[in-house]
Amino acid sequence: MSDQQISLLLDWKGSSLELSVVHAKCLRAEHRFLWTDLVAGMSSNPRMIIGDFNAVLVDHERWGSGRFCLGATTEFRAMVDATSMIQAPSTGRKFTWPNNRRRGNVLAVLDRTFLNEAWMELFDNYSQHILQLFASDHAPLLVCSGMTTKSQNRPFRINKFWMEHPNFFDMVCNSWRPSVTGSDTFILGQKLKRLKIVMKLWSRETFPHLDHEVSISQSQLDQIQKRIEEEGHSEELFDLEADVKTRFLKASKYQEKLRQQKSRIRWLRDGDKCLRFFHVMAKVKRAKNYISSIVKEDGETISDQGLLGTILLSSMKTFIDAWT
């Protein structure tokens, strides 16, 4: 601990979690000591940093009179980059601190939660909720982290790299060609359903489980290269190494394209691709899209997943009945 932060090491179901609670001082010069402490506490454990940082990351996180301090923001960003932390998806009000002045009113995002990649790997559901202001001039933060079971009824999606396969369009044409009788809408719907089934079977036969294929081929490549070191080079080992390298590079290429598609990141150039970055952004996007709770018209908050699904389904049916 120091005068601006307390860091805890917690045991949670056999895993070591790190939690740093921050209350930064107002002066920029004092911030530097806090940033140094947080960077020095880096480790490979799942880590969360939460609290009042008394600094903003971008200019639109501050509204009102006074000037924006670019130097303080730059130092804050440098700490976040050095610790490889990512902001938790947030719901509720945007600004967490007002100066409560009638004249010269200022609003800012001073309170926030950061998570590292290891935390995201351990908890696939995480979010920050900014609660209502009461006595303090800082809004309380409620951070939830948990593990969710994957839905068995997931929507079917086409992966873009499928279209690079030479047999893709032939497979689509062969599925689409047989005729269906009925109205145009009915024909379209039936052909799409048929194509979905055919495409699922084709993709499972054509493309392996990418994460598994990368892991297996990497392990096999390591074993072959160890044999080359121990036994010496031979044509057989050369051919084996070349085949496994091809499998590994091919699977890695498809894996990168799949995660890039899931992350919805389109602005990176080919030379700037980063598989780890795409993987992390896909997790952040999934956490943002996850519906952990809803507020009913009477103000009641529902967070039970079974009840939440029933209410959403009922509301959708009511909407469809009213619309039709």
Please report, for residues 37, 225, 258, the alpha-carbon distance to residue 250 in angstroms, rounded to integers and kept in the order given. 42, 19, 12
Whether 142 contacts 292, CB under 8 Å? no
Which stretches within the chain are classed as H helix? Answer: 28-40, 70-83, 117-122, 168-176, 184-206, 210-231, 235-263, 275-289, 305-323
**Tens digit of each residue's pLDDT (9 = 90 or more) over 129-142:** 898 887 888 999 99
Report CA-CA distances (Å) from 305 to 148, 183, 274: 10, 39, 34
Flag whether the pTM goes above 0.75. Answer: no
First-residue to last-residue Cα distance in the chain: 62
* pLDDT tens column, 179-194: 888 888 888 989 999 9
Q: Give the per-residue pLDDT at 295.
A: 77
Residue 5 in contact with residue 34, Cβ under 8 Å?
Answer: yes
Per-residue model confidence as pLDDT tens digits over 50-106:
999 999 998 889 988 878 888 889 999 999 989 988 888 888 888 999 988 888 889
Residues near 295 by Cβ (< 8 Å), separated by ≥ 6? 301, 302
Look at residue 203 and tell me whether its pLDDT is greater than 80.
Answer: yes
Residue 149, pLDDT score: 59
CA distance 285 to 282: 5
Band (174; pLDDT cuts 50, 70, 90) = very high
Query: Which CA distances in Å does 7 have to 86, 221, 317?
Result: 18, 41, 49
Each residue's pLDDT tens digit, 216-272? 888 888 888 888 888 887 888 888 888 888 888 877 777 777 666 655 544 444 444
What pLDDT shows up at residue 277? Answer: 58
Torsion angles phi and psi, residue 112, rounded to 5: -160, 175
pLDDT tens for 12-57 read 888 899 999 999 998 989 999 999 999 988 888 999 999 999 999 9
Q: What is the pLDDT of residue 309?
A: 76
259 exposure class (CB count in 10 Å sphere: 0-12, 13-18, 19+)? buried
**Cβ(138)–Cβ(98) below 8 Å:** no
| DSSP 8-class letter at 161 | G
